[in-house]
Structure 1
Amino acid sequence: MKQTDLLNTIEAMVFISEEPLQVDEIIALVEEITEEETSITEEEALDLIKLLQNKYMDDAFAFELVQSGEGYCFMTKQKFSNVVNALLKNRSKKRLSRSALETLSIIAYRQPITKGEIEKIRGVGCDYAMKKLLGKELIKMKGKSDAIGRPMLYGTTDKFLEYFGISNLKDLPSPKEFKEEDLEDSSGTTNEEATSTL
């Protein structure tokens, strides 16, 4: 395999890898995809990686190939950190679905509360909504209930407060305080709808 082909192969490997790719993995993968027709030593692999690192040092690229632990991965260059932060912030504030918002409202007002109690209030299952809320770190497990089977209790997090722009749970309006003109929230679901089951 030509050096250009090897460089492109390693570049593709690192790009698609979910975790930093180690040198021994690169060597093994090169042999695997070429059916052992091509083999490279650790020194040769490191030389190829160095060539790729030099390539991405150019200002034409917004990212670079860096060593992370014992492996290598692509990362955005430091000078673009503000762009990354803005993107992550926007993604973290993606609109919540109606079911997620309703589930979150119940947890916020009734915490600590079990999943079974939430489902009893809503009248439907909430596995998917709970998974999304846990993934967004808007809720967390807060111990176990004393009820039969010791089900897990859930409550809101500091990220929940940040997400809705409040300093503490006391700032939450009571369901009775919601006014018609304030019903529409950022998710397209009304606050009245979200708290109607409380």
Structure 2
Amino acid sequence: MQALIGAALLASGRPVRLRELAGVLGLSEDAALRAVQAFGRELERAGLGFTLEAVAGGYRLIVPPHLSGQLAPLLAPPPLPPLSTAALEVLAIIAYRQPVTRAEIEAMRGASAGTVVTLQERELVKVVGRSDSVGSPLLYGTTEKFLLEFGLTTLKDLPPLPGTDFSHLLRS
């Protein structure tokens, strides 16, 4: 059972949802969850150089952070430059207010939301529909890659905001 779980997580190359694992294992979701948790504990005990992570609504195998520095020469491609402050502001607005139009983002920031293109290129945000307002502007939301990059299982894992005032997310 553990070999099959490990093989499924390794072969998939993406987080595998519990429902999918249950199907592969031929178990109920509850039984699959217990098996996955036991697999994670066994990985920790054995210290094999990777660990189980629950992220983006599924499970995946990762290299523990304490080993990743030593593996840097083997990893490719080189990391992208960090997001600019403007891009992070736009990303925060989209994450907390999605679905949201570019005009709404610009109104909240008081500045252009041109970095939406950068966020789309990095696959952190995507078009999720069109607004019913005049002109049917595009609506933006976050992607599964956003969850992966920020280590979130769901959007509910975002830190809570006090009320609906987003001004503290923006530049002063």
TM-score (norm 2): 0.52
- Alpha carbon RMSD of aligned pairs, Å? 2.6
Name the counterpart of 1:7.
none
Deviations 1:4-45 (A, max 9, x none): xxxxxxxxxxxxxxxxxxxxxxxxxxxxxxxxxxxxxxxxxx
Alpha-carbon distance in structure 1 between the residues aligned to 2:142 and 2:119? 9
In the TM superposition, 1:1-198 aligns within 5 A as 86-88=75-77, 90-92=78-80, 94-127=81-114, 129-176=115-162, 195-196=169-170
Q: Secondary structure at the match of 1:155?
A: strand
Question: Deviating runs (4+, > 3 A) in structure 1?
Answer: 82-85
2:127 touches 2:140 (CA, 8 Å); kept in 1? yes
TM-score (norm 1): 0.45
Gaps of 5+ in 1: 1-81, 177-191
1:113 touches 1:155 (CA, 8 Å); kept in 2? yes
Closer/same/farther in 2, CA of residues 116 and 193 from structure 1, 3 Å limit: closer
Deviation of 1:131 after TM superposition, in Å, equals 1.1
Larger Rg computed on CA atoms: 1
Equivalent position amino acid for 1:151 in 2? P
Deviation of 1:195 after TM superposition, in Å, equals 1.5
Alpha-carbon distance in structure 1 between the residues aligned to 2:118 and 2:168? 16
Equivalent position amino acid for 2:79 in 1? R
Alpha-carbon distance in structure 2 between the residues aligned to 1:108 and 1:97? 16
Closer/same/farther in 2, CA of residues 155 and 84 from structure 1, 3 Å limit: farther
How many aligned positions are there? Answer: 99
